[in-house]
Amino acid sequence: MASLKEVRNRITSVNSTQQITKAMKMVSAAKLRRATDAIVQMRPYAQKLTEMISTVSSKTEAGKENPFTEAREVKNVLIVSITSDRGLCGAFNANIGKATIALIQEKYEAQNQAGNVTILTLGKKGAEYLGRRGYKIDGTHTEIFSKLNFTNVRSIGEEVLNAFASQQYDVVEVVFNEFKNVATQIIRTEQLLPLAEKDSDASTASSVDYIFEPNEAEIINELIPKSVKLSLFKSLLESNASEHGARMTAMDKATDNAGELLKALKLEYNRSRQAAITKEILEIVGGAEALNN
């Protein structure tokens, strides 16, 4: 049985840890509100723009001739894996790493065997997870989520667009966590490039008559890159909200576990203290009895 001093030290340590996890939960809750507001406002705009660009690009000559809609034989693959820069959020980062590996093994195993699968990690944890497993990391962008805005993401989008246009990669996929609620994040894999036609109501799409001003080619060539950058920005917003939700849930569970551990330690402390007091009483009684005899 542990000594009273050791149990007291453990109680103090667990109590401090519980205060930290409780504070982290409150911080994540505050950040989660802002992150969910951002993604809720972004979703309708991003979804509608993507649908419109897909429909228009597939039905116009300018769209079909755009380099970002060109479907080529898949020889070189770029996978954008979005994780966080920090841990303490449960299996949030590990799940993205596993999903990225599963995508490679199920869809691009031949390209991977030839060494033609490259991973661009957005977030420190993804680079660490995939790098330890021997995957080819082209680059890592960290500290994105500390100041997440479209201006900062645009440079990453341009980097990806330029690599695809120069035929450095034939397909670009993104793996991220989609935010559903505080306790649930859904892992999504989406093809970023080439721009694929989205499933939509064919009758509605064909009935829309678009008017292009100043001209069709200029509008299409301007909007397609913007749509790709916006899709990447939306994925980062989803991941940001998911991270705060996952951390909030993990810290809530950690706080509850610390409370259960404190109960067990206090019970052990009281038992040890009672045993020590009983032992002292027995020693006193034994000594008194010896003096009487």
242-280 pLDDT, tens per residue?
999 999 999 999 999 999 999 999 998 888 888 888 888
Of residues 82 and 64, more confidence is placed in: 82
Q: From residue 64, how far is each of 160, 173, 288, 290 by CA, in Å? A: 20, 20, 103, 105
89 a catalytic residue = yes
14-65 pLDDT, tens per residue?
999 999 999 999 999 999 999 999 999 998 988 888 888 877 776 776 667 7
Question: What per-residue confidence (pLDDT) applies to 1?
Answer: 56
pLDDT, the chain, mean: 87
Question: What per-residue confidence (pLDDT) applies to 195?
Answer: 82
Question: What per-residue confidence (pLDDT) applies to 236?
Answer: 94
Identity at 22, one-letter amino acid code: K
The domain limits of the chain are 20-251
**Whose structure tokens read 């610390």?**
258
Q: Would the pLDDT of 96 be above 50?
A: yes
Of residues 81 and 195, more confidence is placed in: 81
If one counts every other C-beta atom within 10 angstroms of the C-beta of residue 116, the result is 17
Q: Would the pLDDT of 135 be above 50?
A: yes
CA nearest to 216, candidates 64, 100, 42, 70: 64
202-255 pLDDT, tens per residue?
444 445 677 777 777 777 888 888 989 999 999 999 999 999 999 999 999 999
Which CATH code for domain 20-251? 3.40.1380.10
| Six-digit token string for 60 | 């116009």
The active-site residue, picked from 24, 35, 53, 89, is 89
Question: What per-residue confidence (pLDDT) applies to 164?
Answer: 93
